[in-house]
Chains A and B, each alone.
Chain A
Amino acid sequence: MRRYLLRRLLVAVPTLVAISFIIFAVLDLAPGDPTGNLPLTIPPEVRDQIRRSLGADDPFLVKYVKWARQFFVYEPISVLEQAIGRDLPGKGQRVRIVSWQTRSPVADLIVQRMPQTLWVVGLAYIFGILIAVPVGVISAYRQYSWFDQLGTLIAMIGFSVPTFFMGLLAIIVFSVQLRWLPSIYDTTLVVRDWPSFVQQFKQMVMPVTVLAFYNASQLSRFMRATMLDNLHQDYARTARSKGLREREVVLGHVLRNSLIPVVTLIALGIPTIFTGAIITEQIFRVNGLGDLLIRGIYNSDIPLVQTITFMFAVLIVLFNILADVAYGWLDPRIRYG
């Protein structure tokens, strides 16, 4: 197992290098100029100086290596520094990845935006799982019952209707017509007392519900399918013939085994929390990571976009490995050579 993990991690390195190179190369072709949004009154020589200070004129490979060192070495150390609240040696020499837009380190911006994304989109993911598992189990156990038929139909609607339309519909109904919920997410809100908690709750209801519905619709179908595979296995029959109660057979034996592929699917889906946030945050105006990325793209803030995009790629690769490891750990039949 350890050898397998080691090998997977080693294979991940060239993959990540290749991806980082692709992302870096695509962005480096960008015609966007870091001084493009500055006032036109700045004289050309000053403009050139600004460009040089940002390192925009370096040769491609130099820029890539610089950026890679910043991303993999300097930024993690700096984030760690802030987390433990004390300086580590070499603080002055570490050049941070600086956003062209705000002139502040990209890592700081990400740390700042992360909580909103995790709260809204992460919570929706958890709720999605909590809905999907029981729905999938009941649908499979009562296959072709009205519950299953309805579940199939709703799930089909859930993953066919794009979240951005579902979200806009929710805003029309609950914010515009009924005026129950706010349509704009207020991130400056601090939960101190009961009223502010209620307000926080209110502004989270719509984004979380819409996304949870979408997540649940995909996962519940998968849960149902793996349950169906396992329900008719010999071990389920054996358990029944031993005289176990139906409840124990289904929940104790079948569900446990069916959850194995579901858990891997959940792990594989975690990176989509962040990419999914791009759209959700635009609908409900949450200023999380996705919003940061979109703004970065609009303002051709290349270091920012590079870093966030590559961070997503790292998450995808990481959770792929994690899913495989979890699979082997949960299912003793799988042995890695």
Chain B
Amino acid sequence: MMPAVRGILLCVVALLCASVVSADVSITASVSPAEIAVGNDAILTVRLEGKFRKSGSPELPELNGITVYESGTSQNFSFVNGQSSTSVEYHYTLRASREGTYKIDPIRVVIGDKEYTADPVTIEVTAAQQSIPSPASDPGDGVRAPSSTDPSPGPKESIFISASVDKDTVYVNQQITWTLGYYSDGRVTLMRSPNYSPPDADGFWVEDLPPQKNYYTKLGGRQFVVTEIKRAYFPAAPGVQEIGKARVDVVLRGAEARSVFDDFFRNGGFGQPKNLYSDVTRIVVLPLPQQGRPENFSGIVAHNLSLAVSAHKQLVQVGEPVNIAVEINGTGNIRTIPQPELPATEKYKVYESGSSSDAFKRDYTVTGRKQYDYVVIPQVEGKWEIPAIELTYFDPIEKRYRVASSYAVPLDVEPGAVEEGRKVVYAGGGDDFEVISRDIRFIHSVSSTIVASRQPFYRSRGYIGLNALPLLAIIASLFVERRRRKFADDIGYARSTRARREAEKKLDAARKQFRAGDHERGFALIASATTGYFADKMNAPAAGLTVDAVTSYLSSHGVGEDPVASVRDVFNACDAARYASDPVSADRAEEIVDKARAAVSSIEREFKA
């Protein structure tokens, strides 16, 4: 198709599709669990699904009494039957500080120039089990006891950071919870919020663990306000691995400042910058044990892994695609779980069609869900199953290899339609007729008259040249028709144009008459030729045309004297010959014919000039 035509068709198709695309986006919001105690967390999930490429972030309404932390997104992109679809999930951690029933108003998302809203969701917050105490009201009870990894600050340190891990010996891909504590005893004030830079962690998969925690603790007899940030680290290889130094940049107003002026003159009014560093944390990463390792172990490290396989429909026809979802849930770095293989059989064909993953962080532990999608095309009719899938994994909590397995998925496959809308009848085939298998058709034999061309005929110059001929014919026809019309409409032009040809015809006839010996007839023809020629040129009747009339006509048209004289000679010679008593010789007759022809030619030239 020509690009322009194709472009128009595409525009039409695009206009038709535009409404479909925009109408295909759905948005849902959910909270899990729907009921929590004050100080506990719930996960709010906003899910977008449909045909779109980019979306804005969800706009959450104001929630008095609930603090919202972003805790990641997951995106899934799939292609099925040539159609692409996208699903994006935005996860938020909700922490309630007051009990009550909270209605989260419709969450808005803008995709393109359209706005979509989710249905409102409700979360129930019950009374607190234990809230963070205020030091003013009850400092003793509110102080958290230092752990074994709690730092022991020197007497002059009013502000410092300290990193710790929940365990220093783990297996490969087992979670380590790294905690960075920011301690301040309140004797210094900051000119702006601290700036935190996470540590380098080559050789680890890292997940942030929101929300940050605030509490009070006593160290060395002094009370500190502690802000904790947590991260999950999953070591990728065995050996001694290092989590680098974290850095917190602060700008102090002045530790001993007693007034604004005192601080200004001491620190120049811009504060005193200070960089706080944590220690490097060393982790001993153990390799997975060899003992009991299954042969088909694929390196998955997780806790409480579960596997579920589902089909979007179980009653199908041969050749009809079935969407199969393999969902894996568990605790650990679930995103890294490799794709399980659907057992191959001759009963179906399998195509991979996409994957998606989500990570959840509850109680600072990473759990996750990974889904692999397949399209299965049944090849055989009957009732049969897609066999169960097994995944072997290492459980670092139980320190042993375990197997997660799914159930088999039963399918009821009916015979497929032979060809849509067509009933094929094989003569004599009857019920016994059966197509055993299908193969390609055999090669073509070579015709002896094969035209082996390096280039098709329509690219040859000859063909392009031939195509010019009809166009030339049309142009010629226009020219001819124009001339024909002029001939028809202008008698004088027609006579003038034909005059010479007519005269020459008569002169040829006269010559023949002379050679045949009929001189009288010959001279009559010469007279007719010359008189007729000038009558045509003058568009006047030939009868009664005199030599004087001709010569005066020629003179008035600017013809020179010599041609006029030659015309007069011809007329005189004819008259003399016709009316002479003695017969004129054959040579003389031929000479007069030649003179007449020369006179006509010279007059013609004079007119053209």
Q: Do A and B bind each other?
A: no
